[in-house]
Structure 1
Amino acid sequence: MFVVPGWCRKSMTSQPSVTPVIVERAAQPYVGIRRSVTMRTIGGFFGTLSELIAWVAAQGVIPPGPDFIRYHVIDMAGELEIEAGVPLPAGAEVAVEAPMHIEVLPAGRYLTTTHVGDPDDLVAVTGAFLAWAEQHGMRWDAHDTDAGERWGCRLEIYHSGPDDNPDRNTWETQLAFRLAD
């Protein structure tokens, strides 16, 4: 059984309401840039996502879905290995240069929930989401390592943001965490 990490429990004092659903996601090719960050430096990483989105647009590629942040390894007291990603259409031919790479998000069952509101609330929303999953006996595609929790696929998918509306309280973010097989 997945245990809610201490950093989530602390942020759950005023647990937001979450309504998770299980969805089947097909495999999805994407272009990404992976980095190691800390909780203090994670804010600067979102500039990488903006640069990646601009680069994909300059290639004439129309993404078939919204951009995302993928969390690979999470150690809240140390480093997080995260990745900015933009979906690619199936069969798209894009020549990338380091530090970009092309990968595929794994197919499978994902537990998802959508948050409409300020992205600063996502830590609390994630904590409530993890707690809901634990209460319902859900098992993540994740395991502990010396570097932190390694996730098979843990996504924050940005359906809207500052380009759509400057009011942060209207932004829509979907959490999609892959369930264990």
Structure 2
Amino acid sequence: MFTEPKIDERPDTHYVGIRTMASLQEMGNGLIPRLHTEVYTWLKQQGVPPAGAPFIRYHVINMETKLDIELGVPVAGPIPDDERVRAGVLPAGRYASLIFTGIENGIKGNGMLLDWGAEHGLKWDTFEAEGGDGFVSRYESEITDPADEPDPSKWDTEVAIRIADEPTH
């Protein structure tokens, strides 16, 4: 299942996360829950509660080799980080998004949102990246808590991509 894409305005979202290079196979073989667990453990050790659902931020996408991704968890505001778990911000702005059900629909959901944006003349907030497509802010946020629903084919996930700011003259 896929929802209709929508556009909304979002505030800055502070988070902490672990950035890595990974293939789709590595992502599907436990990397995502392992790194999210590491971030949650780090937050607990710091005494900082999460302020939202975990997400995967896609910095540079290259489906053929490796993706430059970050496994993050929102926090209420800026906090000190370390060499492994880094603080970051999903920047404020206009985002296009949709929700897909079932982790097996992630690639299709992303493709549907990209196609919808092209049909509606949207310009994504991108940057030149070596070896892939660079995005200023593109992420998938988990809506369904796996502790509540163990079946990944029933998980709802939102994919959101920041739309480029219109030039001001």
Do the two structures share a fold, i.e. TM-score over 0.5?
A: yes
Name the residue aligned to 1:53.
40
Q: Deviations over 1:15-41 (max 9, x none)?
A: x64411111111111111100011221
* Pairwise CA distance, 1:170: 2.9
* Pairwise CA distance, 1:54: 2.7
Name the residue aligned to 1:38.
23
Asked if 1:166 is matched to 2:153, the reply is no
Q: Matched residue pairs, number? A: 163
Name the residue aligned to 1:96.
81
Gaps of 5+ in 2: none
Looking at structure 1, the residues matched to 130 and 42 of structure 2 have their Cα atoms a distance apart, in angstroms, of 35
Alignment of 1:31-180 (within 5 A): 31-43=16-28, 44-46=30-32, 47-90=34-77, 93=79, 95-115=80-100, 117-180=101-164
* Pairwise CA distance, 1:58: 3.6
Name the residue aligned to 2:4.
19
- The share of aligned pairs that are identical, in percent, is 36
SS in 2 for 1:97: coil
* Pairwise CA distance, 1:166: 1.2
* Pairwise CA distance, 1:108: 0.5
Looking at structure 2, the residues matched to 143 and 59 of structure 1 have their Cα atoms a distance apart, in angstroms, of 34
RMSD value, Cα: 1.7
SS in 1 for 2:114: helix
Residue 80 of structure 1 aligns with an amino acid whose one-letter code is: L
* Pairwise CA distance, 1:168: 2.4
TM-score of the two chains, using structure 2 as the length reference: 0.88
Looking at structure 1, the residues matched to 77 and 39 of structure 2 have their Cα atoms a distance apart, in angstroms, of 18
TM-score of the two chains, using structure 1 as the length reference: 0.82
Gaps of 5+ in 1: 1-15
